[in-house]
Amino acid sequence: ATFGDYGGQYVPEALMPALQELEDAYERYVLNNEDGFMDEFRERMRDFGGRPTPLQRADRLSERYDREIYLKREDLVHGGAHKLNNALGQVLLAKYMGKERIIAETGAGQHGTATAMAAAHLDMPCEIYMGRTDINRQRPNVYRMRMNGAAVNPVTAGSGTLKEAINETMRDWATTVETTHYVIGSVVGPHPFPKMVRDFQAVISQEAREQIQDQAGRLPDTVVACAGGGSNTMGTFHEFVPDEDVDLVAVEAGGSSLEIDEEANLAPNSATLSTGTDGVLHGAMTKLLQSGDGQIVESHSVSAGLDYAGVGPELSHLVATDRVTPVSVDDDAALNGFHRLSNLEGIIPALESSHAIGYVEKYTDDLGDLVVVNVSGRGDKDLETVLEETEKRDLEAAPDVEVFEQ
């Protein structure tokens, strides 16, 4: 397998030649900068994507938690999240490979919008698969993709969410593989996707590692990132992996409970690294939320972007080898994290990133003196959800908004 016991290429035979072609392209263009691929990628991420993103000292969080807290500001990337790092890399790679068409899955719509933006920017026809349920609850993202000229294909199978969208995109790919590149949205899927996506996202930790040394004079004690599929996680951790004194903490969505309800075929969480078991999903051996029989269960998190029953195989490996510490915080803690960062720092984080902040708030004592937290995206997309979910709860950090309920 690719990463210790994890990874691999568990896909239909029809896709294997495409994976080999992709592996070849990955080695030539990404690893060896053939035809100046990586130069062009970096230039476009600078001019189009807005990189580098700042590493900001969070003055008020630092004061509150009595340690130095730095925020890696991926929320400032074009499109509002780290997602573009990968989407632009893959669409550009597809162009170098001579592909004529891009497909991608999307859950909440973040990866879909990033891919649609990248495809518009690079003039590639693009189709996005999205579950019907997700379409209905994430309409603004659907519109953004349409505005960028991408087709959005509703997937009605199953619960109509991310898992089904991935299945359907794989089916499209199995049909059109000769002319089409599938832009997978996280460090998941068959080899070489987990490595390639990680390498595109590793710019986060490349920048952060330099920035923290410039600004704080040393490497951090703790690096914290939320983990769903794991692309911002691996991006944030990658360059720090060899730094053995740096704790790497992956914060998963604890949802409402860490138990799996096999009867209902539901895990009311997405804490795959913390509670999952080994298995194969979407092309890779990794940790999964599954029933004893091997059926994949529906995951759940208040954050749509973490709501996935699998996780990147490299993360499974890094957890298995004790290099990464998996932790989880529940929906309440994430919502508190959302409000805390919004209120104290003037940064409205994505609900995904709010899990990382929620962890810092809740388990402050587990942190070292110098902490880097990845703010993987901005939270504008989550306002409605946060309002609804906040109303149901009694949250310490939430503001009162009832004056506007007329």
Partner 1 sequence: MSDESRAERESRKTRTGSDGQERPVSDEIETDSDIETAIRENEPALITYITAGDPSLEDTKEYVEALDRGGSDLIELGLPFSEPIAEGPTIQAAINRALDAGTTPEGFFDLVDDLETEAPLLVMTYYNMILQYGDEADVRPFVERAAEAGLSGLIIPDLPAEEADPLREACDEHGLDLVFIVAPTTEGERLETIMSQVSGFAYVQARLGTTGARANVSGATHDSLTRLSEYDVPKAVGFGVSEGDHAAEIIEAGADGVIVGSALVDIIADSEETTEGVDRLEAKAAELKRGARRGAGEAVDAEDVPEPEQP
When the beta carbons of 78 and 195 are compared against a copy of itself, the nearer one is 78
Give the contacts of 345 (CB within 8 A, at least 6 positions apart). 58, 59, 60, 61, 71
Handedness of CA 150, 154, 155, 158 (dihedral sign): positive
Residue 125 interface partner, choices a copy of itself, partner 1, none, CB cut-off 5-8 Å depending on type = none
Query: In Å, what is the CA distance from 286 to each residue of 5, 240, 257, 315?
Result: 8, 22, 22, 9
Query: What is the rounded distance in angstroms from the CA atom of residue 284 to the CA atom of residue 135?
Result: 27
- Identify whether the C-beta of residue 264 lies closer than 8 Å to the C-beta of residue 256: no
Residue 267 contacts partner 1 per CB under 8 A: no
Tell how strand 151-155 and strand 284-288 pair up.
unpaired
DSSP 8-state assignment for residue 256: T
The nearer residue to partner 1, 166 or 251, going by C-beta atoms, is 166
CA-based torsion, 319, 324, 330, 335: positive or negative: negative
Q: What is the DSSP letter of 307?
A: -
Q: Does 261 bind partner 1 (CB under 8 A)?
A: no
Contact between 116 and a copy of itself per CB under 8 A = yes
Q: Which stretch binds a copy of itself (CB under 8 A): 166-174, 239-247, 256-264, 378-386?
A: 378-386
Minimum distance from residue 117 beta carbon to a copy of itself (Å): 4
Selection from partner 1, a copy of itself, none that 35 binds (CB < 5 to 8 A by kind) is none
Using the contact rule CB under 8 A, the part of the chain among 194-202, 243-251, 326-334, 383-391 near a copy of itself is 383-391
**Helix, coil or strand: residue 143:** helix
Closer to partner 1 by Cβ: residue 156 or 213? 156
Out of 1, 31, 120, 219, the residue judged to bind a copy of itself by CB under 8 A = 120
Known catalytic membership, residue 376? yes
Interaction between residue 39 and a copy of itself (CB under 8 A):
no
Q: Which residues pair with 329 in a beta bridge?
A: 253
Contact flag: residue 57 with a copy of itself (CB under 8 A): yes
Q: 218 exposed, middle or buried (CB, 10 Å; 0-12, 13-18, 19+)?
A: exposed
Catalytic residues: 83, 105, 376
Q: Which residues make up the interface to a copy of itself (CB under 8 A)?
A: 46-48, 50, 53-57, 59-60, 73, 75-76, 78, 80, 116-121, 123, 135, 139-140, 142-144, 146-149, 152, 154, 338-339, 342-348, 379-380, 383, 386-387, 399-401, 403-404
Q: Which residues make up the interface to partner 1 (CB under 8 A)?
A: 8-18, 20, 157-158, 163, 167, 170-171, 174-178, 265, 277-283, 288, 290, 292-296
